[in-house]
Amino acid sequence: MPQTGPGHEGLGREQVQTVLVRRHVLETNRPFSDVLDGIYGGISRPDIGRLFDELAASTSYDEFSSLVHQAEGSAGLILFLQLNLDIALTLDPQVPAEHRRRLVRVIAGNPVTMGQMTRHVTDAGSYAPVTILVAETSDGGTRVSYDSVASALAPYRDQAASQVAERLDNEVLTLLRHVTGPSGAAAPIMAP
């Protein structure tokens, strides 16, 4: 219900929706650096500022799509940002030494894929680009977490957006299963 009174002039309405998300957690005894390097084997790391400038200067969708395709990695993704979350853990005196391990959030996406989803469900822009969380475990292995975009879009009941999201999830999960599988070999693929 809209709020009224001082400080709420012009305030529209607010809705609260519950969105259940399927989180895929993949664990491996492979070292953190090997897993992160493997992920970057499928996600390109272009000069993102330059790429965004080129995309903004595109004069047609074909040109835009071509630039994205040229920039994307083998998993169809482009690195937008890497957040080294472990820096705060390393510096925080309240964090016990045994919890000071590598923790990286990889934010990656594909502008064409994002457009294919948001043309049907605007809120899909909240879930793409995707986040891949890579954490070093206490035993020297690695834990990788990924939230399924298709599950986040399920409440919108839009088949076209869901198909794009399922394809995106499959591309990401195929990459993650490959890099966390035994000796880098592909782990069995299960439907997202």
Structure tokens at 166: 């399922």
Strands, sheet with 103-109, edge to edge from the N-terminal-most edge strand:
23-28, 142-147, 130-136, 103-109, 77-84, 43-44
> What is the per-residue pLDDT for 184?
45
> What is the per-residue pLDDT for 190?
40
What's the mean per-residue pLDDT of the chain? 89
188 pLDDT above the threshold of 50: no
103 pLDDT above the threshold of 90: yes
Structure tokens at 7: 């400080």
Listed residue (136, 152, 134, 153) closest to 144, CA to CA = 134
Where exactly are the structural domains of the chain?
Answer: 23-182
Place domain 23-182 in its CATH homologous superfamily: TT1751-like domain (3.30.310.70)
Q: What is the pLDDT of residues 111-142, one digit of tens each?
A: 999 999 999 999 999 998 999 999 999 999 99
**DSSP per residue, 17-42:** -----PEEEEEESS-HHHHHHHHHTT
59 pLDDT above the threshold of 70: yes
96 pLDDT above the threshold of 90: no
Listed residue (17, 47, 39) closest to 102, CA to CA = 39
Helix %, strand %, coil % of the chain (to 5): 45, 20, 40
> What is the per-residue pLDDT for 182?
73
> What is the per-residue pLDDT for 99?
77
33 pLDDT above the threshold of 60: yes
**95 band by pLDDT with thresholds 50, 70 and 90:** confident
**DSSP per residue, 142-159:** EEEEEE-HHHHHGGG--H
**Cα angle for residues 155, 156, 158 (degrees, 5° grid):** 125
The whole-number average pLDDT for the span 17-42 is 95
Q: What does the DSSP 8-state code read for residue 140? A: S
Kind and range of the H or E element at 174?
helix 159-180
The whole-number average pLDDT for the span 82-105 is 88
> What is the per-residue pLDDT for 89?
84
Q: What does the DSSP 8-state code read for residue 183? A: G
